Structure 1
Amino acid sequence: MAYQKVEIQFNGQPLTIETGKMARQADGAVVVTYGDTKVLCTAVSAHKLREGQDFFPLTVNYQEKFYAAGKIPGSFFRRERGTTERETLICRLIDRPMRPLFPKGYMFETQLMPTVISADKVNDPDTLAIVAASAAVEISDIPFNGPIAGVRVGRVGGTLIANPTLLQMAESDLDIIVAGSREAVIMVEGESDYLSEEAMLEAIFFGHAALQPLIEAQSKLRELVGNVKREFLSPVVDPALEQRVNALAADKILAAVKIRTKQERYAAVAEAKSAVKEALAVEFAGREGEISALLGKVEKRVVRQMIIRDKVRIDGRDMATVRPITCEVGVLPRAHGSALFTRGETQALVAATLGTSSDEQRMDNIQGMEFKKFLLHYNFPPFCVGETSNRLFPGRREIGHGYLAERSASKILPKHDDFPYTIRIVSDILESNGSSSMASVCGSSLALMDAGVPVTGAVAGIAMGLIKEGDDVAVLSDILGDEDHLGDMDFKVTGSAKGVTALQMDIKITGVTKAIMQLALAQARDGRVHILGEMAKALSAPRGDLSQYAPRITTIYVKTDQVRTVIGSGGKNIRGIIEATGCSIDIEDDGRINIASADGDACKKAIKMIRDLTQEAQVGKLYLGTVRKIMEFGAFVEIYPGTDGLVHVSELDTERVRNVSDVLKEGEQVLVKCIGVDKQGKIKLSRKEALGQTAPSEG
């Protein structure tokens, strides 16, 4: 392939897409450059179909090379190992808008590998990776109904910005990624500081307009390359078989899907399908795969027709009704905060744990070291859907769902300076029939309030669905798992009555219009307000105190030049305090010291030990000290831990003293008075001026 390059101006600087120089044996390979950030993406699709393949095996492997930022990985082996959480989340950002645009029935194994090969720490590579993935497929011979592009939208001072720099994002009250085609928005994900639905909608379609030049650039590159797409014809359905399946299955499946309990409904649908397969086993022998696929189409059609035509959903609800909700708090006696949130047949057990800065998550990536003080982990065990599995670790879906809930819940947390805890939330899904990530958002709010975290308010989440048949549209609130599977959209929205804190949209069609999104956001707000009302019945405000099992963090301050004294040589002093008290102690360079312990007395002891180390001698004050060293010219007396002063021989007594050892012995206590501190901080003490005085009381 000959070298080709397209360059456009984007936000005032060049953005280039080039091909024909790197990775030339891939079906498609491009390098997208913006500033000094470069993303190489390759696309390869198999030419042979795996036997028995019945789904589209698309894999996206996004990787950030440490050399891209001039860094060596901090791992033991000093190389990139596995996929980080950030990389996993970006894989999902690329997969979700790309997947719907491959031809229906295309089931050849396909792999996209976006790799960050240069990072300028100014321009985030994630949206460039979306563009690179689309461009790599677009210029290849792989069938694809693209191109698409993605941009990040921020808002600084009320002004929307496409692909803002990392510095601008630090000032932004909005962070969303919008992916779309020429015609429509395909994917949205992000967070905001309680922006209104109208402001979110404006930002989404601002992003859609902003990405159009990126789509045009890809189309231009494809024309320059001139690749012809490989021939692919969607599988042809046998009309006779389809007619027989429809005739036998439609009524049976329609009756089955009206059963409102999930497990009973699944059993009835499976029984109906099994009966049809058995009836056709002889007539259409050896075509079980085709029959199964057609039965799936029948189920999808009858459910969608029921919703569009009859305005009735699988469980009997109308379009906007939310399933029954029950909330309990304090369900785990030893957890710092806990909640059990149940919505229909979806249930989340959520626990909040408070820790110290030593519990922060430290992550090294190409942007630098990141310290996370708030973590939300979402777990989806197989039993929650009545299944078994050998998988022990969270998959990409669980990481993505947890991150969405984390983004939402983070908006209600107090400032870290006011509440210096590391907070970990765990949401274990115990039952699932749709919207489990949104149950995690609701449960997280309740668990935080139960833990006594002074949150700014509660947030709730709701998943919206879509059934679109021609011009007929139904937007569904609080979707079931089946409505997600058989529908066209999963649009999750979180926030409060004030506005939106996070959202995520996935679709299975080629795009959604502004009118549909406007309706979905408005309906989501109504549902969200209803859910918040149900949550308030269990707990409407944070508890007045932390759990008795949670550490109490007390913050004290010392002078910055005293930090070294508190730490001590090789950490001797601070280790001694920790060992003596059992407290967890974190020291900041600015002199702030956080002392954490569930034992109040231990905390007080640690504070006293630190104050003893950092107190300063006051001229005229009496001290009961300990003689540490005898010299010819006087004695060094420790007036508080780690601080000595000199009692000169002339200050030992009212009478002349020939030998210091005649008056003082090492280790004995002596009452002294501070008579001066010189510019170097050296303390002058007098025993003579303390004679006849009374020793100061402790405390």
Structure 2
Amino acid sequence: SLIAGVRVACIDGRFIANPTFEELEQSNIDLVIAASAESIIMVEGEAQEISEEEMVQALSFGHEEIRKIIALQDQIVGESGKEKKTMPEAESQDELQREVAALCSAELETLIRIPEKSARREGIQALAEKVKTALAEKYPEKETAIMEFLHEIEKGAMRRMVLTENKRLDGRNPDQIRDISIEVGILPRAHGSALFTRGQTQALAATTLGTKIDEQRIEELEGEFRKTYMLHYNFPSFSTGEVKPNRGVSRREVGHGNLAERALKPMIPGDKIFPYTLRIVSDVLESNGSSSMATVCAGSLSLMDAGVPVKDAVAGIAMGLIKEGERIAILTDILGDEDHLGDMDFKVAGTRNGITAFQMDIKITGISTEIMREALDRAKKARQFVLEKMAAVLARPRAQLSRYAPRILSIKIPVDSIGKVIGPGGKNIREIIERTGAAIDISDDGTVIVASVDPDAGEKAAGIIRDMTAEVEIGAVYSGRVKRIMKFGAFVEVLPGKEGLVHISELDHKRVGRVEDVVRIGDEVKVKVIKIDNEGRVDLSRKALLTAPSNDKAE
């Protein structure tokens, strides 16, 4: 069958096929669909808490657009296409298939009822070895075919059990969610952490709060931009009981990490509310299906444990499907084997209010809109159940950040004062960092971000910068240091790099003969600004802050 793809956006309730970048910015859905004319094959995307019905409508709209594209493809094939090559028919192996079935069918019916994953797989592997040994002499070099037939028999047995007995591999009914356990704050030194376990799937998420310096710079075809929120998903081989060399990030880790990142993204507060760079790392410690959705749950909890003011908690669930003719079973919270042996893997993440991310792979044709709608409705119920479990442990973000997290202060300075703060060759800003231990980042628009684990150090650095960039105001009172003394008065530094003159007549109410009789170089004095002339020269007065002597002659 011909296959086509389309991207769907939605602006003010109006669906748009293959939107522009500007339209995507305004859209509450970013949905990518691949399909044949008969059925949808793949779905992936993110949304701003849309309803299940909106999701179904978006899928229907996208599929109709794909049918138009396929009609054009058909036309092109009819006008300029070549005849399809005829493939030679595969050698008939009916006899081998019957013998494999005779040797393993009865035992497989028993083995697939073992609830524990590793014990079930070990039993099936031992049976496979026994079958291969029994048929080795009669069917040499047919090991691959034997394993394929055995896999098909296992698949058929599992599907019959679900459809006829309403019973799944681990003994659950189709709607049942595996046991859930949750721990938060499990890593005492991390800024936020959570351990989420659902059955034999476990994810450990740690959230780190960074500063603007920690932003990730991305260079793409559309241009360069920076990310202040990242989620990284690690899937080590030991999580599935395997031993493999680690040769870098796998496609699975990229894809699952991207799905989980998008699921949480709509809940991340903006820079003006929470000016931190956020990084979540999820390590899958054990996996038996839905590890990406466990990452969503653990990641959401770790953000709240870190004190990030997220808009709401996010949870995820993976749905499955088994369809034989008119018989259908929709499975909630699928296992790895149910994904492998079933017909659909539909991951849905969201909040109490709606869907934020989704990913679907379908292996068969003929899945109707009604089946899709029912799967989404069941996913919603399951998501609400998981969210209740999460809320029972941590209902809202913690009021305080971890004592190990940096405290960030944001101040605004005049753009023409940026050079003054940085200093020649960065001299001034380096001195502030050395004196306070704070990290400082200055943007071109004059926004200064000061970060420090010690709140007092951050306030000290921010205070120095404020003083360096502050403007002297008439009537303001400053505590300054005497820098120079002349016969006619003393020059006092009221702000870093800004001096004013206290005339000898403004030192005291009584007559002063010598300036040194009142102040000396290095003295700290309180002064009031009484005048700033057109050239920016500042006149100060010490006298204005002193109590005037009484005029009562009786004294």
TM-score of the pair, normalised by structure 1:
0.73
Once the two structures are superposed, residues 108-140 of structure 1 have per-residue CA deviations (whole angstroms, 9 ceiling, x without a partner) of xxxxxxxxxxxxxxxxxxxxxxxxxxxxxxxxx
Query: Which amino acid in the other structure matches residue 617 of structure 1?
Result: V
SS of residue matched to 1:537: helix
Once the two structures are superposed, residues 512-568 of structure 1 have per-residue CA deviations (whole angstroms, 9 ceiling, x without a partner) of 321221111011111111111222222122112111111122233334444443333
2:553 equivalent in structure 1: none
Distance 1:601 1:237 in 2: 80
SS of residue matched to 2:206: strand
Q: Does 1:403 align with 2:258?
A: yes
Once the two structures are superposed, residues 558-590 of structure 1 have per-residue CA deviations (whole angstroms, 9 ceiling, x without a partner) of 344444433334433333222211112233344
Residue 627 (structure 1) shift: 5.5
Distance 1:226 1:414 in 2: 52
Work out which of the residue numbers 523, 526, 541 in structure 1 matches 2:378: 523
8 Å CA contact retained: 2:9, 2:28: yes
Distance 1:299 1:646 in 2: 94
Please give the residue correspondences for 1:616-631 in structure 2 after superposition, counting only pairs within 5 Å.
616-621=471-476, 623-626=478-481
Residue 269 (structure 1) shift: 0.6
Q: Does 1:278 align with 2:133?
A: yes
- Structure possessing the higher radius of gyration over alpha carbons: 2
Work out which of the residue numbers 264, 282, 307 in structure 2 matches 1:427: 282
Work out which of the residue numbers 295, 302, 310 in structure 2 matches 1:447: 302
Taking structure 1 as reference, are residues 588 and 345 closer, same or farther at Cα in structure 2, changes over 3 Å only? Answer: same
Distance 2:489 2:87 in 1: 98
Work out which of the residue numbers 509, 516, 535 in structure 1 matches 2:364: 509
1:171 equivalent in structure 2: 26
Q: Does 1:366 align with 2:221?
A: yes
Distance 2:479 2:383 in 1: 65
Q: Does 1:684 align with 2:534?
A: no
Distance 1:372 1:237 in 2: 56
Residue 384 (structure 1) shift: 0.5
Residue 624 (structure 1) shift: 4.9
2:56 equivalent in structure 1: 201
Q: Does 1:235 align with 2:90?
A: yes
Distance 2:526 2:215 in 1: 46
8 Å CA contact retained: 1:256, 1:272: no
8 Å CA contact retained: 2:40, 2:362: no
Q: Does 1:558 align with 2:413?
A: yes
1:642 equivalent in structure 2: 497
Once the two structures are superposed, residues 405-458 of structure 1 have per-residue CA deviations (whole angstroms, 9 ceiling, x without a partner) of 111111222222111111111110000000000000111111111111122221
Structure scoring higher RCO (CA < 8 A, sep ≥ 6) equals: 2
Taking structure 1 as reference, are residues 662 and 550 closer, same or farther at Cα in structure 2, changes over 3 Å only? Answer: closer
Gaps of 5+ in 2: 548-555
1:605 equivalent in structure 2: 460
Gaps of 5+ in 1: 1-144
Distance 1:348 1:202 in 2: 33
SS of residue matched to 2:393: coil
Segment drifting more, 582-591 vs 322-331: 582-591
Work out which of the residue numbers 427, 430, 444 in structure 2 matches 1:572: 427
Q: Does 1:391 align with 2:232?
A: no
Once the two structures are superposed, residues 80-134 of structure 1 have per-residue CA deviations (whole angstroms, 9 ceiling, x without a partner) of xxxxxxxxxxxxxxxxxxxxxxxxxxxxxxxxxxxxxxxxxxxxxxxxxxxxxxx
Residue 640 (structure 1) shift: 1.7
2:155 equivalent in structure 1: 300
Once the two structures are superposed, residues 609-646 of structure 1 have per-residue CA deviations (whole angstroms, 9 ceiling, x without a partner) of 12211222122445454465789999864322122346
Distance 1:380 1:661 in 2: 75
Once the two structures are superposed, residues 342-380 of structure 1 have per-residue CA deviations (whole angstroms, 9 ceiling, x without a partner) of 111101111111111111111111111121111111000
Percent identity between matched residues is: 49
SS of residue matched to 2:386: helix
Residue 592 (structure 1) shift: 3.3
Taking structure 1 as reference, are residues 606 and 355 closer, same or farther at Cα in structure 2, changes over 3 Å only? Answer: same
SS of residue matched to 1:383: helix
Segment drifting more, 148-157 vs 430-439: 148-157
8 Å CA contact retained: 2:499, 2:538: no
Please give the residue correspondences for 1:245-324 in structure 2 after superposition, counting only pairs within 5 Å.
245-324=100-179
SS of residue matched to 1:213: helix
Taking structure 1 as reference, are residues 366 and 662 closer, same or farther at Cα in structure 2, changes over 3 Å only? Answer: farther
Distance 1:535 1:467 in 2: 29
Query: Which amino acid in the other structure matches residue 338 of structure 1?
Result: S
Distance 2:468 2:218 in 1: 34
Residue 324 (structure 1) shift: 0.8
Once the two structures are superposed, residues 65-94 of structure 1 have per-residue CA deviations (whole angstroms, 9 ceiling, x without a partner) of xxxxxxxxxxxxxxxxxxxxxxxxxxxxxx
